[in-house]
Amino acid sequence: MRKFFCVVFVPFMSSLYYSQGAKKNLPCYDLSQVLKVEPTALYKPHLDASKSFGVKLLKDSKTVQKYVSSGKFHAIKKTGKGYRVQRLDYSRAFMVAKAKTTLEKMAARFSKETKGHTFTVSSMTRTLEDQCRLRKVNSNASLGISSHNYGNSFDISYIRFNNVLKYNPKMEAALEKVLKYYANAGRIYYIKEKQQSCYHITVRNY
């Protein structure tokens, strides 16, 4: 009876261990389902602009590291003239050169027009894995492809200035003035996201 039990039990444990190991290696998103989601008319220009930089859809950490190693992605400092980057739990502080430069110029302009104030960057480059993790805690996160998935988009909070979480209509108006200037110059697209209290900015390949 003991022999029979061991013969049955060992294969079961082996099978269980294998299934758990295989599950760990599977991505937390279904790429076929992600690709089926159609962007809205408002968001489509953001995706079109993102795809013009020659960056393939960022699926995981390895794809980001590849672009960092090749010099395609550049690190973004935590602080700079006119901006601060908040703690990034679901995105990475790397972007293509033009996005980095545009962020820095926008921040410097904001600082000049507000006499030294700063805005807060709340999100940057995300992989599909990052996006999947974010969706588990935020149901408003995109189900489909995001322009964040290409390394040329970032979010700026409109309720956090000078590292203080507080509604400030004067600072928000100053920020939107800067955004409109760069949008009219053909350098960015932006959307005001009410649920996330941020402006979603996508840098164009100008």
User: Tokens representing 151?
Assistant: 């390394």
Q: Distances from the Cα of 150 to the Cαs of 96, 119, 168, in angstroms?
A: 9, 23, 31
Predicted local distance difference test score (pLDDT) of residue 151:
98
Answer yes or no: are the C-beta atoms of 142 and 29 closer than 8 Å. no
- Cα dihedral: 100, 91, 61, 136 (round 10): -160
β-pairing, 119-123 with 83-85?
parallel
Per-residue confidence in pLDDT tens, the chain, 206 aa: 444 444 443 343 333 333 344 345 556 666 667 667 788 899 999 999 999 999 999 999 999 999 999 999 999 999 999 999 999 999 999 999 999 999 999 999 999 999 999 999 999 999 999 988 887 776 655 567 899 999 999 999 999 999 999 999 999 999 999 999 999 999 999 999 998 899 999 999 99
Where do we find the tokens 């013969």?
Answer: 7
Q: CA nearest 105: which of 84, 81, 75, 79?
A: 81
| DSSP code per residue over 134-149 | HHHH-TTS-SS--GGG
Predicted local distance difference test score (pLDDT) of residue 192:
97
Residue type, 46: H
Taking every pair of Cα atoms in the chain, the longest distance, rounded to a whole number of angstroms, is: 84
Predicted local distance difference test score (pLDDT) of residue 156:
98
Answer yes or no: are the C-beta atoms of 45 and 190 closer than 8 Å. no
